[in-house]
Chains A and B, each alone.
Chain A
Amino acid sequence: MNRIEERFKALAEKGTPAFIPYITAGDPTLDVTERIVLELEKAGADIIEFGVPFSDPVADGVVNQEAAQRALKHGVSLRDIIKRVKKLRESSEIPIVLFTYFNPVLAYGVEAFAEDAKDAGVDGVLCVDLPPEEAAEYKRHLDARGIAAIFLLAPTSTPDRIEMIARNATGFVYYVSRTGVTGERDSIEATVKGMVAEIKKHTDKPVAVGFGISTPAQAAEVAGFAEGVVVGSAIVRLIGELGESPETAPKVGAFVKSLVTAVKETA
């Protein structure tokens, strides 16, 4: 069992959902990213999503696009990020998921990527533009190394696709709460609860919900019916505002603490 499955199992026993913060790796620098991760762990985050910066992030809103641009400006690569995960493993056992576009993985070499990710202690990978139909070889290499292959489900997914994707996913299923790109929104769509219930008809795997959740109140709302709550852009925006200041990691930690509290108190 890898760290993601262990974490969901432990949380299920306690009856609390997972809180999963997303940060862009390398924004503002990988050193700051490392410090932020340790603060997020202290704040009670269960799993960290590392966004891998890409030049053409079509599934991302402006906040994550700009964060990726900042990271790319000083040349942060997938290789650097994997190395940094390895270093983090000297001080932390928090489950880590890489949230990436497919082209950097393809350029790395799918098998070499899976091998190095395993060696570094990466626990899961979510390729946002790689649906299961195109993912057989990728999944084979991840499966062989016990790395979770996490796939997206969306409001437009048909029952056939929900069944197929849930069957292919390992670790957890990631439900995209809205048609659209990543980013903060005023409210959670009314359809989310029903779709999560629909997904649960097809799978026993944990369901995490992301895209558009940004406040403690929204996180608490989703925590009422999902096993995982992902918050990204609100945290990424804060990191962007604080930059390389020594206050960045603790301030981000404090914000995430408020989200964790909201999620855990709901349960």
Chain B
Amino acid sequence: MSEYGVLSSRQSTPYPDDRGRYGDFGGKFVPETLMPALQELETAYVEAKEDPDFQNLLRKHQTDYVGRPTPLYFAQRLTASLGGAKVYFKREDLAHTGAHKINNALGQGLLAKRMGKRRIIAETGAGQHGVATATAAALLGLDCDIYMGTEDIERQKLNVFRMRLLGARVIPVNSGSRILKDAINEALRDWVTNVRDTHYLLGTVHGPHPFPLICRDFQRIIGEEARKQILEHEGRLPDLLVACVGGGSNSIGLFFEFLGEDAVKMVGVEAGGIGLGPGQHAARFAGGSLGMLHGAMSYVLQDKNGQILTTHSVSAGLDYPSVGPEHAYLMRTGRVEYTHASDSEALAAFRQTSELEGIIPALESAHAVAYACKVVPNMPKDRIVIVNMSGRGDKDVQQAAKYLLPEEDFS
């Protein structure tokens, strides 16, 4: 059997193992300079996890600062319009800063502070993780630099200003395709240079171990709350969970609590872009293959020579050529199903959710709604679906207007 996962279907439970492997995926593929830092992070994290003071401080911030628990909301008019199963939204868009990203940013920010790091850096695509990180830095009194591709700066101007307002420096990244992947490259270059006093606050369940584990643990609260809330609303567990998948943090956050419940079906929705040709999408499970990018073995969009392909999505937060290793594992084992929604389907869902529910979803989350809109009409009315409303769409209105109202100028 190959150590590099040449498509065996080996499973390992519990996961990740002590090498940070989720079956064939994950691991720690980084230059030597960073290996001791990953070990230091893992040690600090294991200690913090066991420390009641740290956990109490985290809980207090989650309640008083983030505003948790976020509501589980019954989307009555959308449900009526679709004419099938009942649709609930887990309202991560109501968390402070407007997305689930704050859960991880706050947790890792507290961890960085505990480790004595004075500076945090992060990458951002849509800007939500950058805003969450800048917010955590302001709250905790840490220096903060955010790397962002110039293509994303252009389509997420509002978030760029928010980050600056919060006291962070936004460093434009002009290399490569000038989007999320390139911002991660630059953040890694910064970290390899300043590793002694800097914590890299990675924003998703990707990267070298222990990042996928840490980020998942800080996002698990989404599913833990949703389980309690659906039991209060309906007295039973849901039939289907739907979440969008970029790196995969909001979806793991919702799914993880339910993985042991065989009756709960889960679907992750990737960015189908404008088609499934090379460079047109970010649907790693539809067009990718086994590869190693940014420290983890996973599914990667690449050419036959192992060069990483460019991606496209209307949503900057899903526009990434690889996917968290735990998702690769859940896909391989068949526990979670992965599909994709196109730019136009996401935009239609963006408009529909706004009109029917008075909720403007992030374009990322709109991909999850788009899938729900496809399957819910064919489900019986007594079935229950939870869609993760991972973020709010205020940041996206200018971008969306270009597509939805092309004749008008909102710039």
- Using CB atoms and an 8 Å cutoff, list the residues of chain A in contact with chain B: 54-59, 61-62, 65, 72, 77-79, 102-108, 110, 128-131, 133-134, 136-138, 151-158, 161, 165, 176, 179-181
A136 to B188 Cα, complex, angstroms: 25
Q: Which of A107, A129, A130, A179 contacts B306 (CB 8 A)?
A: A107
A78 to B34 Cα, complex, angstroms: 26
A107 to B193 Cα, complex, angstroms: 29
Give the residues in chain B near A110, CB-CB below 8 Å.
2, 4
Known A106-B291, A137-B4: A131·B35 in contact at CB below 8 Å: yes
Residue contact B192 to A180, C-beta cutoff 8 Å: yes
A208 to B290 Cα, complex, angstroms: 33
Shortest beta-carbon distance from A136 to chain B in Å = 6
Residue contact A152 to B36, C-beta cutoff 8 Å: no
Size class of the B contact interface (CB-based, 8 Å): 35 or more
Residue contact A103 to B293, C-beta cutoff 8 Å: yes
Residue on A nearest B19 in the bound complex, by CB: A133
Shortest beta-carbon distance from B210 to chain A in Å = 13
Question: Does residue B294 face the partner (Cβ distance < 8 Å to A)?
Answer: yes
Shortest beta-carbon distance from A143 to chain B in Å = 14
A246 to B348 Cα, complex, angstroms: 57
Residue contact A58 to B188, C-beta cutoff 8 Å: yes
Give the residues in chain A near B300, CB-CB below 8 Å.
103
Residue contact B306 to A103, C-beta cutoff 8 Å: yes
Q: Which 9 A-B pairs have the closest CB atoms?
A: A107-B306, A104-B306, A154-B33, A180-B193, A137-B3, A77-B305, A152-B32, A58-B188, A103-B306
Residue contact A134 to B28, C-beta cutoff 8 Å: yes
Residue contact A55 to B33, C-beta cutoff 8 Å: no
Residue contact B192 to A179, C-beta cutoff 8 Å: yes
Residue contact A56 to B189, C-beta cutoff 8 Å: no
A131 to B33 Cα, complex, angstroms: 10
Q: Which of A102, A105, A161 contacts B36 (CB 8 A)?
A: A161
A55 to B292 Cα, complex, angstroms: 12
Question: Does residue B176 face the partner (Cβ distance < 8 Å to A)?
Answer: yes
Residue contact A179 to B194, C-beta cutoff 8 Å: yes
Residue contact B192 to A59, C-beta cutoff 8 Å: yes
Residue contact B189 to A58, C-beta cutoff 8 Å: yes
Known A56-B176, A65-B175, A179-B195: A103·B32 in contact at CB below 8 Å: no
A78 to B294 Cα, complex, angstroms: 20
Residue contact B32 to A131, C-beta cutoff 8 Å: yes
Q: Would you list 18 pairs from A and B whose C-beta atoms are within 8 A, ordered by A residue?
A: A56-B181, A58-B31, A79-B305, A103-B292, A104-B307, A108-B306, A131-B28, A134-B27, A134-B28, A136-B3, A151-B32, A154-B31, A156-B32, A156-B36, A156-B196, A161-B36, A180-B192, A180-B193
A61 to B195 Cα, complex, angstroms: 16
A77 to B303 Cα, complex, angstroms: 11
Residue on B nearest A79 in the bound complex, by CB: B305
Residue on B nearest A60 in the bound complex, by CB: B189
Question: Does residue B240 face the partner (Cβ distance < 8 Å to A)?
Answer: no
